Amino acid sequence: MKSIKWKLVLVYIILVFIVMLVSGTFMLMQMRSNETDKARTQLKECADKINGEIISGNKSAELFQDAFENLIMPQGVQGCILDVSKQNQTLAPTQFLNMRFYDSAIENAMSGSDGVGFNLSKKDIDVNNTAKEWLTYAVLAGDNSRYIIYTRIDASPINENLSKITMTIFFMVIIGLVLSGVLGFLLSNALTRPIIELTRVAKAMAGGDLNQNIKVYSNDEIGQLSQTITEMAQEINQYIITSDSEKNKMETILHNMTDGVLAYDSGDTLIHANSASEELLNLGDLKRIPAKDVMNYLGFEDGIDQKESTIATGDKFILSTAAYYLDINGNKAGVVVVIQDVTKMTKLDNMRKEFVANVSHELRTPLTTVKTYTETLLDGAMNDAGVALDFLKVIDSESQRMALLVQDLLELSKLDNKQLKLDLEVLDLNALICQCVKQNVILAEKKHQSMIFTPLKNACFIEADVGRINQVLTNIISNAVKYSPAGASIEISLEDAEAYFRLFVKDNGMGIPREDLRRIFERFYRVDKARSRAMGGTGLGLAIAKEIMEAHNFRITANSELGKGTTMILRFDKLRVDGETV
Ligand code: ADP
C-alpha cells in the first residue's frame, strides 16, 4: 500500500474497530453483570422466602412438600430444599424429589464460611428432562445448617437477550466500520489532496517547470507549506531569469567584443571562446586544439606567470593577457586569456618612431651643411668675398629648406590635431584651377613643358577653403612639373560626375613604381629621395594635400605607370542647396 491515502483509511478503520470492539465488549460485560446481579437478587429473595415461609415455619421436613404447594415463586424461578445429611437429597417440592443436583453453588454454600454459593450458566436438566442453562443459588438454612435451599432461574432468556445485544453490537460495528471507511476515505482525501497536488507540483518543478501555481486548499500546515513552496519556486524562477539574463548579457558582451576572450577550466578544457578570439587567432576550431598549444602559440611558453605576450602573425600584431580565475574557495579554477589586435597601435607606434627618425634625418642634412659652411667661413673663407657669398647663399637656401620643413610639419601637426579651421566658402572650381594653372604655367614653360587645362563649360560650385584647396592644387600641379622631364605635357581636366567633380592632373613624366604608389601619401615618403631633395621637396606635400582633402570630405588618389606618367585624381563634392546639387 503505497498511497498515504489508503494508509490513513486503514488506520481510521482499525481505530474505529478497536474502539467499538472495546466499548461493545465492555457494554456486553456490563449488561451480563447487571442481568446476573438482578437474577442473583431474585434467587436470593426466593431463597429467603423459602427459608422464611417453609423452613422456619415448619419444624418437620415432612411438612415442606405441602408448604411448597402454597408457595408462589416468580416466573422462571425454581427452588427446592436439599437435605445435607442425606447427601443433598431433595426434600421438597415433589417435582424435584427424584432429582439430584451437583452444582458448584451447592458445594460453595457447604464449604464457604457464609454458606452461600452462586453459579452462572450451569447446564442442567429441567423437570421435563430438557437440558438448560441455569443461574443457580444455594444457601445453607435451618438449624445446624441441615438444609440447603437451592434456587435456580432459566438463563436462556438472559442469554438470548445478551446474544441479541451482541448481534446488535456486531451490526453496529459493521455499520461503524463501513461509515468509518467512507468517512476515513473522505477525510484522507481532503488531507491528501493538497499533498498529492504538492507532489505533482514538486515533480514538475524538479523537471524544470518552475512556473507552477499550487492550489492552496486551506490555511493549515499543508496550506502554508504549499504557499511557501509557491513563493520559493517564484523566487527561484526569478533568480533563474535574472541569472539567465545576466548570462545572456555577458554572452552578448563577449560576443560583441572586438577583443577575443578564451577561458579554460582547471582541466585545460576550453569552456568559452568568443567569435573575436577565433577570428583573431585564425587557427580553426579552437576546441580541437590543446590548451597548451594555444598558449604556446600566444607566446606563453613559460606558463602565464608572464601575464602579457605580443606576437606577430602575418600582418597582424596580437597582444594577449592571461590571468587565473579562482573558485569560491580561492583555488585556481582555470585561465582567462584576453586577446587584442594591436596592429593599428603597433603600426602607429612604428610610424611615430619612423616619423621622428625622418624629421631628425631631414633636419640633420641642412643643419650639417649650415654648420660646415659657417665653420668654414669663420675659419677664414669669409675673407674671400666671392666664396663667402656662395657659402652664404648655400646657408640661406638650406635655412629656407629647414624653414619650409618646419612649416610643413607645423601644418601637418595642426591638421592632425584638428586645429586647422577651414574657412569654407562657395567657390567655382573652374576659376580656382584656372588661377592655379596660371601660377604654375611659368614653371612648366621654364622646363619647356606644355600645360593645358580643359575647364567644364558650366561653373563648378563647391564649398571649400580657397587657400587650402589652392595649396593642394599647387602641390599636385607643381609635382607634375617637377617629376616630368623637359618637353613633357601636362593635361588638367575636370569631369562632372553625378554628385561630385573629378579633377585629373595628368603628366607623361617618369611615373611611380607600383610598389611605391600606395605609399606616396605617407609622410616623408619619396620615390627618389635624392631627386626630391634636389628639387626642394620635403616629402610632406602629398601627405598635407591628403589631410586637407579629407578635412573637406574630399578625396585624392593616384594612378601611375612607371616611365609613362602619373595621373592624380581629386574628387570634390558638389555644392548642395536644400539637398540638391547646384
Ligand atoms: P616632395 O616634396 O618630395 O615632392 P610630395 O609629398 O609632394 O613630396 O611627393 C611625394 C613623392 O611622390 C615625391 O617624392 C615623388 O617621388 C612622388 N611624386 C609625386 N608626384 C609625382 C608625379 N607627378 N610623378 C612622379 N612622381 C611623383
Whether 24 and 127 share a structural domain: yes
Residue 513 DSSP symbol: -
Ligand 1 atom at shortest distance from the alpha carbon of 542: 6
Whether 444 and 546 share a structural domain: yes
Whether 300 and 385 share a structural domain: no
Would 196 be classed as within a structural domain?
A: no
Question: What size, in residues, is the chain?
Answer: 582
Where does 461-522 have alpha helices with state H? 466-482, 514-517
Q: Is 424 in contact with 464 (CB distance < 8 Å)?
A: yes
Q: Is 360 helix (H, G, I), strand (E, B) or coil?
A: helix
What is the domain extent for residue 32? 4-155
CA 403 to chain centre: 68
Domain-terminating residue out of 337, 355, 384: 337
For atom 7 of ligand 1, which residue has the closest CA? 541
Whether 325 and 371 share a structural domain: no
Residues 6+ apart with CB under 8 A from 233: 201, 205, 210, 211, 212
Distance from residue 352's CA to the centre of ligand 1 (Å): 21
- How many structural domains is the chain composed of? 4
CA–CA distance, 234 with 227 (Å, rounded to integer): 11
Would 218 be classed as within a structural domain?
A: no
Would 24 be classed as within a structural domain?
A: yes
Whether 325 and 398 share a structural domain: no
Q: How many other β-carbons are positioned within 10 Å of the β-carbon of residue 432?
A: 19
Query: CA 423, 427, 430 angle in degrees (round to 5)?
Result: 135
Choose the residue to mutate in 516, 526, 548 for probing ligand 1, maximizing ligand atoms within 8 Å of C-beta: 526
| Interior/surface letters 284-297, b for 16+ CB within 10 angstroms, e for the rest | eebeeeebeebbeb
Residues having CB closer than 6 A to ligand 1 are 475, 479-480, 483, 507, 509-510, 512, 520, 525-528, 532, 537-543, 566
Distance from residue 405's CA to the centre of ligand 1 (Å): 15
**Phi-psi sector, 360: left (phi>0), alpha (psi -120 to 50), beta:** alpha
Residues 6+ apart with CB under 8 A from 190: 217
Would 509 be classed as within a structural domain?
A: yes
Global pTM reads 0.53
Whether 330 and 355 share a structural domain: no
Choose the residue to mutate in 407, 447, 516, 527 for probing ligand 1, maximizing ligand atoms within 8 Å of C-beta: 527
CATH code of the domain containing 387: 1.10.287.130
Whether 455 and 538 share a structural domain: yes
Q: Is 81 in contact with 147 (CB distance < 8 Å)?
A: yes
Distance from residue 520's CA to the centre of ligand 1 (Å): 7
Ligand 1 atom at shortest distance from the alpha carbon of 536: 2
Cell numbers standing for residue 478: 607643381
Would 180 be classed as within a structural domain?
A: no
Would 462 be classed as within a structural domain?
A: yes
**Residuewise pLDDT in 10s, the chain (582 residues):** 568 888 888 998 999 999 999 999 999 899 989 988 998 899 999 999 998 888 887 767 778 888 888 888 888 889 999 988 888 888 888 888 878 888 888 888 888 777 777 887 777 777 777 888 888 999 998 887 889 999 999 888 888 888 999 999 899 989 999 998 999 899 888 888 888 888 888 888 888 887 777 777 778 888 888 888 888 888 888 998 999 999 999 889 988 888 999 999 988 999 999 989 998 988 888 889 999 999 999 988 877 777 889 999 888 899 999 999 999 999 999 999 999 999 999 988 988 898 899 889 889 988 999 999 999 999 988 899 999 999 999 999 999 989 989 999 998 898 888 877 889 999 999 999 999 999 999 999 999 999 999 999 888 999 999 999 999 999 999 999 999 999 999 999 999 998 899 999 999 999 999 999 989 999 888 888 777 777 777 889 999 999 999 999 999 999 999 999 999 999 999 998 877 776
Ligand 1 atom at shortest distance from the alpha carbon of 543: 6
Distance from residue 479's CA to the centre of ligand 1 (Å): 6
Whether 85 and 104 share a structural domain: yes
Nearest to 146 by CA among 75, 206, 59: 59
CATH code of the domain containing 535: 3.30.565.10
CATH code of the domain containing 262: 3.30.450.20
Would 108 be classed as within a structural domain?
A: yes
Strands 270-273, 260-265: pairing is: antiparallel
Would 253 be classed as within a structural domain?
A: no
Domain-terminating residue out of 416, 436, 461: 416
Ligand 1 atom at shortest distance from the alpha carbon of 484: 24
Q: Is 207 in contact with 233 (CB distance < 8 Å)?
A: no
Whether 326 and 361 share a structural domain: no
Whether 148 and 50 share a structural domain: yes
Domain-terminating residue out of 314, 337, 360: 337
Residues 6+ apart with CB under 8 A from 392: 373, 377
SS (H, E, C) 135-194: EEEEEEECHHHCEEEEEEEECHHHHHHHHHHHHHHHHHHHHHHHHHHHHHHHHHHHHHHH
CA–CA distance, 449 with 100 (Å, rounded to integer): 178
Distance from residue 339's CA to the centre of ligand 1 (Å): 40
Whether 98 and 41 share a structural domain: yes
Whether 356 and 399 share a structural domain: yes
